Chain A
C-alpha cells in the first residue's frame, strides 16, 4: 500500500530534550515536506526537500533541522524543544519531476513539550 508513515504518533517530552520524528514514504517520491498545524493558523511549512541531499527552509524553520540522506526518509529533528513547538506535525511527499502533483500526507505526530 502506498503510504507515508510517521513515528511516533504521539510524544510528550520536556524542554531541551532532543527528539527526532521519523517520516518514510514508499512511493519513490522526490519531494518531501514537513508541516505543523496549529489552531487558527492552518498548515505552515517547516522544511522541504526536492531530492536526496537537497533541503530548504519553509515558512517556520526556526528550532528545527532536517536531513535527506535517502530518498524514502525525511526525519524532523528538534535539537532543543520548547513549549512553543507543541503542535501537530505532518510529513508529506509527492512526485515533482516536471508536472504538478498533489501531496500525500502522513497520519500526523502530536507533540507536547512541557
Chain B
C-alpha cells in the first residue's frame, strides 16, 4: 500500500526567509509525486509534480521541490517566503504500475508566513 507522511502539522517562517515543507512517501514501483495548496474556503490547487528526470522540479508561484529517491522524500521549497504563501499544503503520491490511478494524500502542513 502506498502512503505519504507530512511530519509537520505547521511550519512558521518569517517573510523573506526560505521555507521548506517536508514530505516522505512509500510506494511500490516508481512514484509520481505532487504538491497541492489549499487556501481558506477553497479547493486544492496544483503546484507541481515529479514524474521522471531532473530531481529538482519547478512549479507555480516560485515553488520548487526536490525529489530524493534514496530518502524517499519530496520536500517543497521556496527561496523567499511571502505572507500570501500562508496556506495548507498537501503532498500526494501515485504509483506507476499501470492504469490504476489511486492517489494518496498526506495529512497536510499549515504554512504560516509571519510578516
Interface residues of A, Cβ cutoff 8 Å to B: 4, 31, 33, 35, 40-45, 48, 50, 58-59, 90, 92, 96, 100, 102-108
Q: Is B44 an interface residue (CB 8 A)?
A: yes
**Chain B at the A interface: mostly helix, strand, loop or mixed?**
loop
**Chain A at the B interface: mostly helix, strand, loop or mixed?**
strand
Chain A residues positioned under 8 Å from B114 (CB to CB): none
**Cβ contacts A to B, 20 pairs, < 8 Å:** A31-B101, A42-B105, A43-B44, A44-B105, A45-B103, A48-B102, A50-B101, A96-B99, A100-B32, A100-B49, A100-B51, A100-B94, A102-B34, A105-B36, A105-B44, A106-B43, A107-B42, A107-B43, A108-B41, A108-B42
Minimum CB–CB distance from A60 to chain B (whole Å) comes to 12
- Taken residue by residue from 79 to 107, chain B's Cβ proximity to chain A (1 for < 8 Å, 0 otherwise) reads as 00000000000100010100101111111
Minimum CB–CB distance from A33 to chain B (whole Å) comes to 7
Bound-complex Cα distance A100 to B101 (A): 9
User: How many B residues, CB 8 Å from partner?
Assistant: 24
Minimum CB–CB distance from B109 to chain A (whole Å) comes to 10
Minimum CB–CB distance from B111 to chain A (whole Å) comes to 15
